Amino acid sequence: MDYIFAGSDKTAAYVLSSLAENQTPVLVITREDAPTGRKKILTQTPVADVAERHNVELIKTNDPAKALEPILNSGAQRGIIVSYGAILKHEVLKSIDWFNLHFSLLPKYRGAAPVQRAIMQGKTETGITVFKLDAGMDTGDIYKQLEKDVSGMTTAEALEVLAELSVPLLQQLLVDAEPTLRPQTGTASLAKKLSREECFIDFKSDAQTCLQMIRASNPEPIAWTYLNGEPFRVIQANEGEPNVESTDQPLGQVTKSGKRIFVACGEATRLELITVQPFAKKQMAAADWYNGVGEVKLGN
């Protein structure tokens, strides 16, 4: 059936590209061009790039209500939303049947950051939910759900896996004339957007807790600490073995063992640094960074 696709980010672009291989939408709605990067270059969304490659009618707006007339004139029977970044107003919500792809097993982790919150809290099982939009926040009736183990993944890695998992469900939705829906059941939880302040690495915590936050905050807002009073980002890390050589190292102390770089955490645990980004520099291997600075203390 004819459908409209609304989305903005890299994950939504992957889903749109996959769906368009079999059937292109009649209309794509995405957010307006926005400044990106250090130079604040005005850039269109990844979804807009995909729409242009497939020669699909494209509307850029941060308010879907401004696209109401094209929606009504499109002839679409169904709408699919993936990471669009705006709430549909009543008139848009009632224009056609809208279905949303959410990256959790609803009603768990309703909100903007379901994967980030699950990983930060140490959850290994999450999944995807395709549900019909209603006026609430991620409260609509469920069409399909699938579980997925995301152990050891960053948010970026988990979203890639979950997006791939979602494509067959969305393809089925587009041929299912009368989809069977069921209400959400169970205890609901909220997953608000991660703030930069939340992603400060507290080395008083054990290495596993630090690692969960580092993985959850990748690709954004990225975990960070201080080095000599300047922000220092930790892009990738692993949990290191307990420090059998010394259990009284200051928290945040960075040391080298063989070719591996470790930082002392709470409860005599160690975090292995893999990729870091010193202030005003590019990302680099932790070993290369250490070879330039030697033993230092993070978090000061």
Task: Please report which confidence band the pLDDT of residue 248 belongs to, taking 50, 70 and 90 as the band edges.
Answer: confident
Confidence of residue 37 (pLDDT cuts 50, 70, 90): confident
CATH code of residue 225:
3.10.25.10
How many domains in the chain?
A: 2
Where residue 38 falls (left for φ over 0; alpha for ψ -120 to 50; beta otherwise) is alpha
184 in a domain, yes or no?
Answer: no
User: Quick one: pLDDT at residue 59?
Assistant: 98
d(CA 187, CA 174): 30
Average pLDDT over residues 48-65: 97
Residues 151 and 202 reside in one and the same domain: no
Helix or strand run (H / E) with residue 173: helix 155-173
Q: Are both 58 and 116 inside the same structural domain?
A: yes
- Written as six digits, the tokens of 222 are 């990225």
Q: Are residues 159 and 93 in the same domain?
A: yes
Inside any domain, residue 243: yes
Q: Would residue 182 count as lying in a domain?
A: no
Q: Which of 59, 106, 101 is nearest to 80 (CA)?
A: 101
Which of 173, 207, 232 is a domain's end point?
173
CA dihedral sign, ordered 117, 139, 28, 168: positive
- Residue 247 pLDDT class (50, 70, 90 cuts): low
- On whether both 140 and 39 belong to a single domain, the answer is yes
Both 224 and 144 in one domain: the answer is: no
Average confidence score pLDDT of the chain? 95
Checking if the pLDDT of 80 tops 90, the result is yes
Rounded to whole angstroms, the Cα distance separating 284 from 261 reads 13
Boundary (domain end) residue, out of 157, 173, 189: 173
Q: Are residues 247 and 146 part of one domain?
A: no
**Does 192 map to a domain?**
no
pLDDT band at 194 (very low <50, low <70, confident <90, very high): very high
Domain-embedded: residue 103: yes
The answer to whether residue 273 scores a pLDDT higher than 60 is yes
DSSP readout, 49-118? HHHHHTT--EEE-S-GGGGHHHHHHS--SEEEEES--SPPPHHHHTTSEEEEEESSSTTTTBSS-HHHHH
pLDDT digits (tens, 9 = 90+) for 139-172: 999 999 999 999 999 999 999 999 999 999 999 9
Residues 147, 219 within the same domain: no
- Number of alpha carbons in the 13 Å side-chain half-sphere of residue 160: 6
23/144 same-domain check:
yes
Specify whether 20 is located in the same domain as 134: yes
Burial of 11 (0-12, 13-18, 19+ CB in 10 A): buried
**SS3 of residue 64 by DSSP:** helix
Q: Are residues 34 and 124 in the same domain?
A: yes
Query: Which CATH number does the domain housing residue 31 bear?
Result: 3.40.50.170
145 shares its domain with 233: no
Rounded distance, CA 285 to CA 235, Å?
10
Q: Is the pTM of this model over 0.85?
A: yes
In the sheet that holds 78-82, the strands lie side by side as 58-60, 27-30, 3-7, 78-82, 97-102, 125-132, 142-149
Whether 185 is in a domain gets the answer no
Q: How far apart are CA 221 and CA 145, in angstroms?
A: 28
Q: Is residue 277 part of a domain?
A: yes
Is 219 in the same domain as 150? Answer: no
Task: Supply the pLDDT for residue 246.
Answer: 55
pLDDT at 243: 62
Residue 205 has pLDDT above 60, yes or no: yes
Name residue, tokens 């202030």: 279
> What would the pLDDT profile of 211-222 be if each residue is shown by its tens digit?
999 999 999 999
Residue 122, in any domain of the structure: yes
Could you tell me the pLDDT band of residue 39, with boundaries at 50, 70 and 90?
confident
User: Which residues span the domain enclosing 115?
Assistant: 3-173
Cα separation of 8 and 28, whole Å?
Answer: 10
